[in-house]
Structure formats: structure tokens, C-alpha cells
Chains A and B, each alone.
Chain A
Amino acid sequence: MRNRTVIQEFIKGLWEENPVLVSLLGLCPVLAVTVSAENGMAMGLAATFVLISSSFLVSMFRKVIPGQVRIASYIVIIATFVTIADRFLAAFTPDISKSLGPFIPLIIVNCIILGRQEAFASKNNIGRSLLDALGMGVGFTLTLLVLSSIREILGSGTWFGMEIMWPSFSPWQVMILPPGAFLALGCMIAGANWINRRRKS
């Protein structure tokens, strides 16, 4: 890992090691909240905030935290930042907080965040950990944004609440129901794999 340049540390989260499309981590909130672009975006940004803050602290204290209790320590640090994000959303954007419901508190157990602490932040210096967290967070947010846009446009005929489809367009209701999440995400992963394979050969 040490031989990666600074830029590569950031870029890898966007595509090559994209948490959703390649690692298939944290799929529960990915499938559940992406009924509208606004929700997907808010979820992505909240998770990114938690990821960056947690990576920073975990990397800073990586030499102080004893190995036996590292997971417990990571969870407490993550839970603190999740609660901060949750309270802030509830206080300043109550509508988004209402529609994301229990999925903000559930960021605590999102494997992307715990995974990056265990696999990266606890072994690398603060600078690299922040870049890694930022890349993963941006990759997660972009993937959520694309997935939720597909679902909202097809399922409700709107994008960020704006009407964008032609008037006679009849929304595909299935796209905003749970099966639509699986269909759309499956197609996206298939597409990503196809592109990767073509690039390799």
C-alpha cells in the first residue's frame, strides 16, 4: 500500500475499490434509502462525514488503542460521529431526517466505515487515512447518487423533486419499491464489471 501515490490513495475509492460496486459493502442502506436522489445524496454525505472524522481519530490514536479492544473503540468513535450527524440533520433539516428514518443511526454498523478503520486507518498515517476516507466517501456518495437518480427518475418521474419526464410518462412503481433497488443495483454492478473486463483485455 505504501507505494501508492497520494492521488491514487484518493482515486481508488471512486472506481477501482469502490465500496458499493466492487467491495459490495454497506448494501443495506444503499438499497433502502435510494428512493429519491435527495435521500441518496444526504445518506452519502452523512456517511462520508462519519467516515472522514472516524478515520482521522482512529489513525491519530492507532498507537494508543490496545489491539484487543480496537473494534470496541472504533465502534464508540463511529457511534459518536453518527449521533452528531443524526442530531444535526434532525435539528437543521428535519424533512430529510424524517425520510431517512432509522438509516442514519444505522451508519454505525455500516461495514464500509468499520472496514476502512480496520483495514486502513489503523495502519496508516493521518494524511493517507484522510485521503482514503475522502475517496471512499466520495465513491459511496456518487454511487448512491447515480442509483437513487435512476430509481427516482424511473419510479417517480422526478429528479430532486423536479418533474423531468414527459407528461404522458407513467412511473414504474416497482423502481421505488425494494425489488427496484435490487434490479437497479444489479444492473449497475454488471455494468461496472463489464467496463472493468473490457479495460483489462
Chain B
Amino acid sequence: MSNTAKIIIVLTLITMISGGVLALLDNYTKPRIEAYKEKVKNAAVDEVLPPNDRVEKIEKGEYQFYVAYKGNDIIAIAFKAFGGGFQSKLVLMVGITPDFTEITSVKMLEQVETPGLGTKIEYDPANKEKPAWFTDQFKNLKTQPEITYVKNVKPTKNTEIQAITGATISSKAVVIILNEHIAKAKATWESN
């Protein structure tokens, strides 16, 4: 057997076996990974929506809206907002009133910001009682005309939040993502 033929046969065999093994493995692990993602998302939807009778999923444009009903009235809507942070992609679950003027709650789904600084937008270990104080600030925050942030002082307006010291860019990114996606989601939701 010539050396060229040997090279082709060996490499082909190795890659085929590798592909086969990985395909089998994927079959086995995929449902678990999907189930976990679904669980995280559902938990986030439950967390950002106020107490309700039922939640309905509606797809419109590029958004998936999770609509919370009480009786026949829509009391709140949840959707995913995302964008660039300081060094990673930020994904947030946002709960908002049906007229998009007041946030019910915000939950961080994904972020890989600077450990110890930017990660405080999700979890601040220094604040023992309220480690998620940053996203908690968005509860009942008004969104019109727009959300703004202040540094090192307490917020005074009902559209203001306080940025994290040492992580202004991450804090600012959250505000920008929210403003942008609330406007876009509102336009999508109201269009038919």
C-alpha cells in the first residue's frame, strides 16, 4: 500500500469514528442541556413577572413575549434583551407592564464580565443581604422618556438607577440595552 493511500485511509477512519462517537454523545446529552436552558429561562420568566393566573408565549418578529394574564387582562409582558457589555454579551430577562412604561423586574441570564467588578451587575458578594441589588433597582422603574444612571449618589428620579462603582461600563451597558430593547419590543408588540 502506498504511503499516500495509507495517510488518506487512516485520517478518514479517525475522523469518521470521531464524528460517530460525538453524534451518539450529542443524542444523549442534548436533551439534558436543552432542559436545563429551558428551566433557567422559565425560572427567569417567573421571577420577572408579577403573580399571575397563567403565562402565554407569543412569538412576534424577533421577540418571544411571555404574556402574564390575570383573568382576561394582560398584567405584564416578559422578553429577552441582549447586547454588548464591557467584555461579554449580556442577556437579560425583562418584565414590563403592557404599556411598556414601567419595568416589573429584571433578571440577568448571561454575562461573563470582569470577575469581582463587572460581575456585580448580577451578583455582588459584598452586599450580603441583597447581592442582586443592581438589577433590583430596576423594579418598578419608569422607562419614559428613558432610563438613565447616576454615579456615586443615590438616584433621585424615578427613571434613574445607580451605577456600580468600578463597573460603570457594565452598568451603562445594561441601561443602554434596556432602553434600546424596550423601544424595539414596544414597536414589535404594538405592530400587527
Contacts and interface: CB of A to CB of B under 8 A. Distances in A.
Whether chain B is bound by chain A comes out as yes
Interface string B116-132: 11000000010000000
Interface stretch (B24-32, B140-148, B154-162): B24-32
Given A69-B11, A77-B18, A87 B29 contact: yes
Contacts of B36: 90-91, 94
B125 A91 contact: no
B150 interface: no
Given A65-B10, A66-B3, A80 B21 contact: yes
Given A173-B116, A177-B115, A66 B32 contact: no
Given A87-B29, A94-B36, A77 B14 contact: yes
A156 interface: yes
Nearest to B13: A64
A92 B33 CA distance: 8
Given A77-B14, A91-B32, A156-B125, A84 B115 contact: no
A73 interface: yes
Nearest to A73: B14
A22 interface: no
Interface SS majority for chain B: helix
A201 interface: no
A139 interface: no
Contact of B33 (A80, A83, A91): A91
B117 A80 contact: no
A136 interface: no
A17 B178 CA distance: 52
Given A66-B6, A69-B10, A73-B11, A90 B33 contact: yes
Interface string A104-118: 000000000000000
28 contacts: A35-B115, A66-B3, A68-B7, A69-B10, A69-B11, A73-B11, A73-B14, A76-B11, A76-B15, A77-B18, A79-B18, A80-B18, A80-B22, A83-B22, A83-B25, A84-B25, A87-B25, A87-B26, A88-B29, A90-B33, A94-B33, A94-B36, A156-B116, A171-B116, A173-B117, A177-B114, A177-B115, A177-B116
Interface of A: 35, 64-66, 68-69, 72-73, 76-77, 79-80, 83-84, 87-88, 90-92, 94, 101, 155-156, 171, 173, 176-177
Interface of B: 3, 6-7, 10-11, 14-15, 18, 21-22, 25-26, 29, 32-33, 36, 112, 114-117, 125
